[in-house]
Structure 1
Amino acid sequence: MTEEQKQMIVRLRNVGLGYRKIAIVLELSRDKVRNYCKAIGLDGYAKKRLQAKEGKQMEEDCADSVCRYCGKSIEKQITGRRRIYYSEECRRAWSKNHLSLYKHECMFFGKKFESSSKTQKFCSHDCYIRDRFWRREDTEEIVKMLLTGKKVPTVPKWIKDILNGETK
């Protein structure tokens, strides 16, 4: 750990950030940050440390927060939402490095997939188009395959639901 990182840990800890947030900003492990804070007497809950300080000192320390990505100081705004990134570039870089993947089930085939969207319903655009516009063609195609005794490669989820008696 460099001297610059040690100074930044002290500064961020005095602002009221916890071990994990400091570790994310400085790209260190949480345990390294916690052990260093314990060694210099900055251990314990960050919120309790802030509450224990005098009101005037607390206002001065909390007047500016730090960027979640680069650790630069962000001046407190008078109105609006509290900023957590120094700039738009910092926000994009942090988002790029910390992707959140959500688990979904395709509404057309019932296949499980992951995406960065919270509300995605289909695994691909093709599944959306087939679900939206090709229901009659799919049904006719599957009935023909069943009547001729051919194996159906993929059955849409909505047809499986109808066959299982699960209609909405």
Structure 2
Amino acid sequence: MNHKQKEAIKKLRGAGRSYLEIAGQLGLSQNTVKSFCQRNQLASAISPEPETINVTLCRECSAPLIQTTGKKKKHFCSDQCRHTWWNAHPETIKRKNGRTFSCQTCGRDFIGYGKRERKYCSRACYGLSKVIRR
């Protein structure tokens, strides 16, 4: 790649052309153009603004959330709001069908998820069952 091509890449990249368009116009490899642009901080010369489809509110704090086309819908503005909201609304968690079991150590009924047969309601009861057997 000569000096003339380098200047042309800078000019075309500044005009918003893609790597493929520049490579085709200058007769270079797309990877050559991309590498040159990355080394010379021209990689983000074109950054199209994301289209916003609508604005919704955070479920916890009601802060405005900008939704972007082609992305998953946002429900929370931060991890802190997400954790707070889910801890306050555990009934809305979609869980698989749970089955009711009775703990073999303390006799308490508990709900178990998954395919395995559950014997104990907690690790503490499991530990006690090992001590009781001895």
TM-score relative to the length of structure 2: 0.38
Higher strand share: 2
Greater Rg, structure 1 or structure 2?
A: 2
Higher helix share: 1
